[in-house]
Amino acid sequence: MLMEINLFGLSNIVPTLYALVKVSALITSIANIILLIGMLYVYVERYRKVKSKFTTTLVSFSLLFLVQNILFSFYFIFNLPETIINALLPLIFLGLEFTALALLLMITRD
């Protein structure tokens, strides 16, 4: 089986995929930061116009999530996971968070 994988040139793909999985949570966290900066921009603009409790809460919500993702990014930079399982669990969480934030930003922009 190993001989067969080497014949097709796939032996170099496995370490590359492993490295990609290890840093994918960091990439997703950075994508979340970009979405949160966009949301924060929209919410601050609305706060300047409306100045209600709701918009203040939305700005606070965005700021807290932004701080959480920045801290998580720094944590992930200095503590890359050793196994794929340890890399997949944060990736699942951050992927779901990215989806929720993208939907929220899409609704917010309308």
The structure tokens listed for 74 are 């720094």
Q: Is the pTM of this model over 0.95?
A: no
What is the mean pLDDT of the segment spanning 17-39? 88
Domain residue ranges in the chain: 22-109
Amino acid found at 47: Y
Place of tokens 């924060």: 40
- Asked whether 26 and 77 are in contact (CB, 8 A), the reply is yes
pLDDT at 82 over 90: no
> In which band, very low, low, confident or very high, does the pLDDT at 101 lie, cut at 50, 70 and 90?
very high
**pLDDT tens by residue, 32-79:** 999 999 999 999 999 999 889 999 999 999 999 999 999 989 988 888
Gap between the Cα atoms of 61 and 87, Å rounded = 27
- Asked whether 43 and 80 are in contact (CB, 8 A), the reply is no
Percent with pLDDT over 90 in the chain: 49
